[in-house]
Chain A
Amino acid sequence: MDETVAEFIKRTILKIPMNELTTILKAWDFLSENQLQTVNFRQRKESVVQHLIHLCEEKRASLSDAALLDIIYMQFHQHQKVWDVFQMNKGPGEDVDLFDMKQFKNSFKKILQRALKNVTVSFRETEENAVWIRIAWGTQYTKPNQYKPTYVVYYSQTPYAFMSSSMLRRNTPLLGQALTVASKHHQIVKMDLRSRYLDSLKAIVFKQYNQTFETHNSTTPLQERSLGLDINMDSRIIHENIVEKERVQRITQETFGDYPQPQLEFAQYKLETKFKSGLNGSILAEREEPLRCLIKFSSPHLLEALKSLAPAGIADAPLSPLLTCIPNKRMNYFKIRDK
C-alpha cells in the first residue's frame, strides 16, 4: 500500500469520533467482519488506528478505497462544510432525460481527466436517488491534493446539485461544465442559497419542507391553539391584549405554518438604495447616490428565530416579506436596489 494512501486513511480514521467508528467502518464495507472483530475498540485511539491501518495494508487498500472512506466520513459530517446550490437547465425541446448512471460517471470522469491530467474522482450512490461525487484536484504537473477535495451531491433526473464551498474556486467552472455535460443539461447557474445543513437546503430547493396535507381521512381535529394560558386559571382574569395576541398567532401560523422550519444559519441583504426619511432636508436624504450597506442576520436556526419574533413581542406582525420569503424564493442572499 502506498505511503500516501496509508497516511490519508490514517488521517481520515483519526478524524472519526470513537462512537461512530464501527458504524462508518461497516458502511465502508472494505474490512471484513472477521477483520473488524480482531480489533479491540476499547483501546486508546492511536492503537485502534494502528491496528486498522495494518488491516488495510493486508487487504491492499487503494486510493479509491481511501477516497470512498472519505466520502462516507463527509456523509456523516455534512455540516462541517458550507454547501452551495446549483441549478441546471436543459435547452428548449430537448429529449426526455434517460439518465444512465454508468454513462454519467464515465462522462463526468472523462471531462475532468481530459482537462486536468491529475484528478481523483470517486462516486457513492445513496438510496435517495442521489450520487455523492468526490473530486481531489491536481494540476498538469502536481498530484491531486487529497486533503482539499470538493464534494458534489447530484440528484439525478433533477436540475439540482449541491457543492461544498471550497477555497479552490478556479476549479468551479470546470466542475460545473463536467456536471452539466455529463447530466445532459445545457447550462448551470449558482443559486443565491447557501448553508451548512444539506438536508435543509434539499428541503428548500425541492419544496419538501411542508409535508402536511389536508385529507378527508384525517380524524385529528385542527388543534386548538393555546396562547400558553393556563386552563385552570381563574376565569375572572382577562388578558388585556388577548385580541392582539391572537392576531399575531394567526398571522405567524399563516406565514410559517405548523411544520418545523428548514435550518439556515444566516440571511444576507446587500442594499443599494437611496436614503428614505420622513424629515425633509436632511443631508442623507439629499444625497443622489444610493447608499451601500450589508445587513446580515445570523442564528443557529434562523427561520425558527424569525418565526418566534412576533409572538415574543420583539417585532410587529406581519414580518417584512424580505424575511419571510426565504424558503419560498429559495434564497438567503439578496441584492436590493431601488426600482
Chain B
Amino acid sequence: MEQANPLRPDGESKGGVLAHLERLETQVSRSRKQSEELQSVQAQEGALGTKIHKLRRLRDELRAAVRHRRASVKACIANVEPNQTVEINEQEALEEKLGNVKAILQAYHFTGLSGKLTSRGVCVCINTAFEGNLLDSYFVDLVIQKPLRIHHHSVPVFIPLEEIAAKYLQTNIQHFLFSLCEYLNAYSGRKYQADRLQSDFAALLTGPLQRNPLCNLLSFTYKLDPGGQSFPFCARLLYKDLTATLPTDVTVTCQGVEALSTSWEEQRASHETLFCTKPLHQVFASFARKGEKLDMSLVS
C-alpha cells in the first residue's frame, strides 16, 4: 500500500508531495511566527528595560533635587538676614509703587473729570467745584456700543441730561462730557451760593429763601441792619444761563416805599449791580462787614 504512506519523501502520488510541501510550509510559518514572537518579546523587554532605566534616573534626579532643596532651606534659615532684607525691600518698593498709582488715580478727581473702565464701557466721574471748594460728584456709566448709550447715572433729574446726550453723545463724546461738566458745575455753584446764604446769613434775611431745584430762580427779602428801622429789600435773581453761576437778570425793589429817596435809590441800584457781578454769599458777606463797621462806629 504505497499510496497510503504520506511520509515517504519520494512518493509518486501528488498528494504525497503536495502534502509534504504543505507540511514544510506550515513548519516554516510556525518557526517564523515563533521567531517573530521571540523578537517582539525581546523588543518589549528591551523597551521596558529602557523605561526602567529612565524612571530610575528620574527618581534619582528628584531625590537629589529634594536633598538640594532641603539643604538650601537649611542654609537659608542659617543665613536669615541677607535673604530676607532683599525680599522685604522688593516688597516695600512694590507697595510704594502701588500706593503711588492709587494716589494718582484718586487725585484725578481734582481735575473734575475722571473715569474708570468697566466691563461694558466706562464709568465717568464728574467732580464739581466752586471757588476752590470741592462739591458733589456725579457719575455717568456709558456702554461702548454702536450707538453709544448711557447705562445708568446719578445726575439729578432736573439737569437736561437727555437733551445734552441727544445733541452730542453720538457725534462728539468730548463735547458731551464737557457740556455736562459745565451744567453740573454751574448747578453746584448756584446751589452752594444759595446754601451759604441760608446758613451763614440767615440773620440778614427777613423771610425764607425761595428757590427751585435748579437754583436758577432765587427770591428773598433782606435788611442791611437787622432789627433796625430801614425798609427791607426784595431781590429776585434769574439765572437764564444754566452754565453760569452768576444771574442774568436781577431786580431789587424796596418794600413798602412808594418813592425812594435818592440815597435809597442809589443803594438799590448798587445792590442790583453787586448781585449781577459777585457770587451771592460774597455780596452778603460784604453787607455783613459794612454792618459791622456801622456797629463799631455806633459803639465808639
Chain A residues closer than 8 Å to B241, beta-carbon distance: 96
Q: Encode A205-235 as 1/0 by CB contact (under 8 A) with B.
A: 0111111011111000000000000000000
Tell whether, in the assembled complex, residue A99 and residue B157 are in contact, meaning their CB atoms are under 8 Å apart: no
Question: Per a CB cutoff under 8 Å, which of A101, A156, A213 touches B139?
Answer: A213
The reply on A320 being an interface residue by CB < 8 A is: no
Known interface pairs A99-B212, A102-B210; A216-B240 also in contact (CB < 8 Å): no
The answer, among B125, B210, B216, for a CB contact under 8 Å with A98, is B216
Q: Give the residue of A99, A206, A213 whose beta carbon is less than 8 angstroms from that of B214.
A: A99
In angstroms, Cα B158 to Cα A215, docked, is 24
B139 contact set on A, CB distance < 8 A: 213, 215
A216 CA / B139 CA spacing, docked (Å): 13
> Which A residues lie within 8 Å of B238 (CB)?
98
Asked whether B212 lies within 8 Å of A101 as measured between CB atoms, the reply is yes
In the bound assembly, the distance between CA atoms of A208 and B141 in angstroms comes to 12
Instruction: Find B105's partner among A97, A100, A208, A216 (CB 8 Å cutoff).
Output: A216
- The prevalent SS among residues of A at the interface is loop
Would you call B154 an interface residue if the criterion is a C-beta within 8 Å of the partner chain's C-beta atoms?
A: yes
Cβ of B102 to closest chain A Cβ, rounded Å: 7
Known: A155-B157, A214-B123. A96 touches B210 (CB 8 A): no
Please pick, from A95, A158, A207, A216, the residue contacting B158 in the complex, using a CB distance under 8 A: A158
Collect the chain B residues with CB atoms within 8 Å of residue A47's CB: none
User: Could you tell me if A96 and B240 are in contact, using CB atoms closer than 8 angstroms?
Assistant: yes
Report how far A318 CA is from B217 CA in the complex, Å: 48
Q: Contacts A97-B214, A99-B214, A100-B212: A215 and B154 contacting too (C-beta < 8 A)?
A: no
A207 to B242, Cβ gap below 8 A?
A: no
Q: How far is the CA of A103 from the CA of B219 in the complex (A)?
A: 12
Contact-residue size bin, chain A (C-beta under 8 Å from the other chain): 20 to 34
Interface residues in A214-271 (C-beta closer than 8 Å to B) = 214-217
Q: Flag whether A172 is at the interface (Cβ < 8 A).
A: no
A129 interface residue (CB < 8 Å to B)? yes
Interface size class of B (residues with CB under 8 A): 20 to 34
Taken together as a complex, chains A and B put the C-alpha atoms of A158 and B213 apart, in Å, by 9
Q: Is B106 an interface residue (CB 8 A)?
A: yes
Distance between A234 CB and nearest chain B CB, rounded to angstroms: 30
Question: 0/1 per residue, B120-160, Cβ < 8 Å to A?
Answer: 00010100000000000001010000000001111001100
Contact B213 A99 (CB under 8 A): yes
Tell me if B23 counts as interface (CB < 8 A to partner A).
no
Residue A157 lies at the interface, judged by CB distance under 8 Å to chain B: yes
A157 touches B116 (CB 8 A): no
Taking CB atoms, residues of chain A closer than 8 Å to B114 are: 216
Cβ-based interface call for B108 (8 A): yes
B13 at the interface (CB under 8 A from A): no
List, in ascending order, chain B residues with CB within 8 A of A155's CB.
157-158, 213
Q: Among the interface residues A95, A96, A206, A216, which one has the most CB atoms of the partner chain B within 10 A?
A: A216
Residue contact A206 to B154, C-beta cutoff 8 Å: no
Q: Are B125 and A95 in contact (CB under 8 A)?
A: no
B212 close to A216 (CB less than 8 A): no
Which residues from A are CB-within-8-Å of B214? 97, 99, 157
CB neighbors of B among A175-220 (8 A): 206-211, 213-217
Neighbouring A residues of B213 by C-beta, 8 Å: 99, 129, 155-158
Instruction: Please determine whether A213 and B217 come into contact, CB atoms closer than 8 angstroms.
Output: no
Q: Output the residue of B123, B217, B242 with the most chain A CB within 10 A.
A: B217
Identify which of residues 75-104 in chain A touch chain B, using a CB-to-CB cut-off of 8 Å. 95-102
Closest chain A residue to B102, Cβ basis: A216
CB contacts (< 8 Å) of A157 on chain B: these are 158, 212-214
Distance (Å) between the CB of B136 and the closest chain A CB? 13
Chain A hits for B105, CB < 8 A: 216
- Contact present for A207 and B125 (CB under 8 Å): no
Q: A101 to B216: give the CA distance in the assembly, Å.
A: 12
Residues of B within 8 A of A98 (CB): 212, 216-217, 238, 240
Report the minimum CB–CB distance from A58 to chain B (whole Å).
28
Known contacts A214-B116, A215-B116, A217-B106; decide if A99 and B217 are in contact (CB<8 Å).
yes
Q: Please, could you name 25 A-B residue pairs with CB atoms under 8 Å apart, sorted by A?
A: A96-B216, A96-B241, A97-B214, A98-B212, A98-B216, A99-B217, A101-B210, A101-B212, A129-B158, A129-B212, A129-B213, A155-B213, A157-B158, A157-B213, A160-B157, A207-B152, A207-B153, A209-B152, A211-B152, A213-B125, A213-B141, A213-B154, A214-B141, A215-B116, A215-B123
Please list the residues of chain B having a beta carbon within 8 angstroms of any beta carbon in chain A. 102, 105-106, 108, 114, 116, 118, 123, 125, 139, 141, 151-154, 157-158, 210, 212-214, 216-217, 219, 238, 240-242
Hey, which bits of chain A sit against chain B, CB under 8 A? Answer: 95-102, 129, 155-158, 160, 206-211, 213-217
The 3 closest A-B pairs by CB, nearest first: A157-B158, A216-B105, A213-B139
